[in-house]
Amino acid sequence: MKIVLVHNFYQIAGGEDSVFKNEAEMLQNDGHEVLLYTKDNHAIQTFIQRMLVFFACIFSIREFLNFWRFMSLHKPDLVHVHNYFPLISPAIFYCCYFRKIPVVHTLHNFRAICPTAILAYQGKIDERSVRGSAFWTVMSKVYKNSFLGSFSLYLMVSIHKKMGTWQRCVDRFICLTEFSKAKFIEAGWPGHKLSVKPNFLRTSASAIHPVKTGALYVGRLSEEKGIQVLLDAWEHIDYPLTVVGDGPLKDLLLKQKNPNIHYIGFKNSSEVLELLQAAAFIVMPSTWYEGLPMVLIEAFSVGTPAIVSNIGGMKEVVQEQISGMHFKVADSQDLSRQVHMLIKNTQLLSELGEGAKLSYLKNYAEEANCRILIAIYQSAINECKRRTYV
């Protein structure tokens, strides 16, 4: 099968970028011809470029024409879109629609429902856009505190909702968890087109570290990730915590004086994997509906359990008392209690590590994931054949 993978890279590399690369390599290893169509947000440098992007993100005529030429040249069997925001835009879906090419779209976040992309505002879950208008996000300047940026995102969401882009132009959507699927259905998306396929690791799981100690946080340092909750909890925990990452709340880590917290900044993927191997457990205190963070799968692959907020997909992925523990979202005291329970019960910690490893082998290894993806592709091809054009 000849497959085009589409992705708009972020300026700060994230999990979506890794998933895109992993799936490209997986498909190639499975014998498929894979073509990449990508854009990079590093190309947005000047003020004028930013202004142009604000409006082009709704429907980029340039990208429609560019992608049309790309499709004419390569004539793929299927197009799989990961991220189109902001440079590529939803224009590519209409290009595929008019050319009668099957389309699969992975829903890594909730941006097509709400300009926040995470269904959260000011560190709390906010679902006003799920069933109602997203116009509130404009006055709240949810996108980088920019009125213009938030307005253009609102237009992108509302225009494509009214045009029926997602019902008409995409044959199959991939949700990372059952929770995510349910949330899109609640927002009015076509349930029969929504499939669930988790992220995965390309490489075989590494060996479990013989001596695992200390807690570990890996991720973006931002409000919705629960960084303040983490710091507040560790005021009452006498146990080492290593923090890895970068982001707008970096200064909080640099200024904190807790001797048990060690902030080591950004680390590359191989360095992160070594830290995960050595950690007793990871902590994910997010206050929003996470998708399926790659760091969680990586942790499971090396037998490292997780303590996570009891919301969204993480509650689904991390099974209580099997591969990790849950705590009440945004409740630093409950997080502190769960951490104390683990560090005082080495037998439980060991059992959770074994459960995490088994969860990885069952759900997130490459071979099974590839079979699921190809089945989704085939269903998209069949759906495309049944399209009606009006």
> pLDDT per residue over 320-349, tens digit each?
999 999 999 999 999 999 999 999 999 999
pLDDT, residue 389, reads 72
Does domain 2-200+366-385 match CATH 3.40.718.10?
A: no
Contact 302, 205 (CB under 8 A): yes
Write the CB contacts of 142 (distance below 8 Å, at least 6 apart in sequence).
115, 116, 121, 150, 153
Q: How many CB atoms lie within 10 A of CB 67?
A: 24
pTM metric for this prediction? 0.90
**Could you tell me which of 20, 42, 22, 40 has the C-alpha nearest to residue 30?**
22
pLDDT tens by residue, the chain, 390 residues? 999 999 999 866 777 998 999 999 999 999 999 999 999 876 677 766 777 778 899 999 999 999 999 999 999 999 999 999 999 999 999 999 999 999 999 999 999 999 999 999 988 899 999 999 999 999 999 998 999 999 999 999 999 999 999 999 999 999 999 999 999 999 999 999 999 999 998 765 555 666 799 999 999 999 999 999 999 999 999 999 999 999 999 999 999 999 999 999 999 988 999 999 999 999 999 999 998 999 999 999 999 999 999 999 999 999 999 999 999 999 999 999 999 999 999 999 999 999 999 999 999 989 889 999 999 999 999 999 988 776
CATH of domain 215-363: 3.40.50.2000
Q: Which of 383, 370, 375, 371 is nearest to 102 (CA)?
A: 383
Predicted local confidence at residue 182, as pLDDT: 97
Residues in CB range of 148: below 8 A, 6 or more apart: 51, 54
Q: Any idea what DSSP says for residue 209? A: P
| Residue whose tokens read 């960084």 | 227
pLDDT of residue 47: 66
Question: Cis omega before residue 86 (within 30°)?
Answer: yes
Closest by CA position to 302, among listed 285, 332, 322, 279: 279
Label the pairing between strands 306-309 and 281-284: parallel
Q: Kindly provide the b/e burial profile for residues 250-259, where b requires at least 16 CB atoms within 10 angstroms of the residue's own CB.
A: bebbeeeeee
Q: Which amino acid is at 63?
A: E
* Class of residue 347 by CB neighbours under 10 A (exposed 0-12, middle 13-18, buried 19+): exposed
- Asked whether the beta carbons of 218 and 282 are under 8 A apart, the reply is yes
Cα–Cα distance for residue pair 346/41, rounded to 1 Å: 45
Query: What is residue 46's predicted lDDT score, i.e. its pLDDT?
Result: 75
Extract the tokens encoding 200.
């995965």
Rg (the chain; Cα; Å): 21
Domain locations along the chain: 2-200+366-385, 215-363
- Please, what's the largest Cα pairwise distance for the chain? 65
Residue 166 to residue 385: CA distance in whole angstroms = 17
What distance lies between CA 39 and its chain's CA centroid?
18
Which pLDDT does position 388 carry in this prediction?
A: 77
What does the pLDDT read at residue 206?
A: 56
